[in-house]
Amino acid sequence: MQDLLKVEGLQIAFGTSPVVRQVSFGLKPGETLGIVGESGSGKSVTALSIMGLLSHPGRITAGSITFRGQDLLTLPEDKRRGLRGSSMAMIFQEPMTCLNPVYTVGQQIGEVLTLHRGMDKRKALANAAEYLERVGIPDPAKRLRNFPHELSGGMRQRVMIAMALAGQPELLIADEPTTALDVTVQAQILDLLSDLQKDTGMAQLLITHDLGLVAEYAQRAIVMYAGQVVETGTVQELFEHPAHPYTQGLLQSLPLWGEAQDRLYSIPGTVPRNLNMEGCAFAARCPHVEAACHQSQHMLPVTATQSARCWRASSGKAKEVAQACQ
């Protein structure tokens, strides 16, 4: 199957300092791809650049983004705007502030319908109720007249999802959709997203720093560190035999169910501030650092579907290291 979205060699800089380097991945229709990484690893910036929402001083310095075989970066702005909200939609991290406080929920969902589906206001408002029902909001006809501040965080995120759905997108980018929500609500929202995905066949880009969510809801994932993709593979591969020391470190730092642990593992050090370095960006924090780490690293295949940005990845050493960690 052809990729719905293909990002190749994407470079993004804020002014002169790079924040995203050499990011490449593909996304097939109906698939969920997780993007994992800590704060500042370039996940959100990558997502914004796909939507074309990158704002000053951020700009794309190299690479290409292809959506349905169409190069987005050479597309004129008005065409791109036409895609936003209809072919590709995005939901954000802060459901509390992502809805316009001066309009009712119905008006806001209605706006998407008038904008992208050519409905008049009356019809849009009538259809908005249908979308509220689809995202599991009880008594939708009544909720249409509510203002955002009258709803809880989970409800608001559902409304955001309803707005995203209203444009009938083929690609939904969810940028940490549940970070601001309770754990129970979190599960409800993500279950809703995966149900909707089954119904509509849309592809999802799930951006999160929670490995658990990726394991549960994504088929494949990419791990980002310091603006680079350091590892990519199916979720099973990443969890069972991570090849990059960073992924290994992330997995080690998860609490284990049912086991008494004094202290959780943490990766020593912090993310480097200057990304113009030679060699592996993780070298300063890596427990297995060797001379070869200070030369520039490339994505090397581990299996047919997994690859990692570490010279050990294809040499078989990765597995030894991974086993040593467990």
Partner 1 sequence: MKTLKRLAHHRLATAGAIVLLLLSLLAVFAPFLAPNDPADVNPSQGLRGPSLQYPFGQDALGRCILSRMLFGARISLTVGLLAGVISLLVGVVMGSLAGYFGGWVDLLVMRLAEVFMTIPQFLLVMASVAIIGPSFNTVLIIIGLSSWTGYARVLRGEILAIKQKPFVEAARAYGSGHLRLLSRHVLPNCWSPLIVMVTLNVANVILLESSLSFLGFGIQEPDASWGSILNQGRTYFQTAPHIATFPGLAIMMAVLAFNLLGDGMRDALDPKLVEEAR
Residues within the interface to partner 1 (CB under 8 A): 51, 53, 78, 81-86, 89-90, 92-94, 97-103, 111-112, 115-116, 147, 149-150, 160, 163-164, 167
Q: Which is nearer to partner 1, 99 or 251 (CB)?
A: 99
Encoding tokens for residue 287?
Answer: 């427990």
Q: Which is nearer to partner 1, 208 or 228 (CB)?
A: 208
Which residues are 228's β-sheet partners? 225
CA distances, 291 to each of 225, 246, 279, 298, 311 (Å):
20, 18, 10, 16, 11
CB of 108 to partner 1, least distance (A): 9
Question: Do the beta carbons of residue 22 and residue 9 sit within 8 Å?
Answer: yes
CB of 146 to partner 1, least distance (A): 10
Q: Which is nearer to partner 1, 81 or 294 (CB)?
A: 81
Three-state DSSP class for residue 272: coil
CB of 227 to partner 1, least distance (A): 21
Angle, CA 188 vertex, CA 185 and CA 189 arms, to 5°: 90
CB of 84 to partner 1, least distance (A): 4
Q: Which is nearer to partner 1, 92 or 246 (CB)?
A: 92
Q: 230-235 contacts: CB < 8 A, separation 24 or more?
A: 230/281, 230/282, 230/308, 230/309, 230/310, 231/306, 231/307, 231/308, 231/309, 231/310, 232/25, 232/299, 232/306, 232/307, 232/308, 233/302, 233/303, 233/305, 233/306, 233/307, 234/305, 234/306, 235/34
CB of 55 to partner 1, least distance (A): 8
Q: Which is nearer to partner 1, 31 or 111 (CB)?
A: 111
Q: Distance between CA atoms of 299 and 19, rounded to whole angstroms?
A: 18
Q: Distance between CA atoms of 283 and 112, rounded to whole angstroms?
A: 46
CB of 90 to partner 1, least distance (A): 4
CB of 192 to partner 1, least distance (A): 18
206 closest CA partner among 43, 35, 91: 35
36 closest CA partner among 189, 190, 210: 210
CB of 161 to partner 1, least distance (A): 12
Q: Which is nearer to partner 1, 10 or 112 (CB)?
A: 112
CA 77, 96, 196, 247: dihedral to nearest 10 degrees? 80
Name the pairing type of β-strands 171-175 and 203-208: parallel
Q: Which is nearer to partner 1, 65 or 286 (CB)?
A: 65
Q: Which is nearer to partner 1, 59 or 294 (CB)?
A: 59
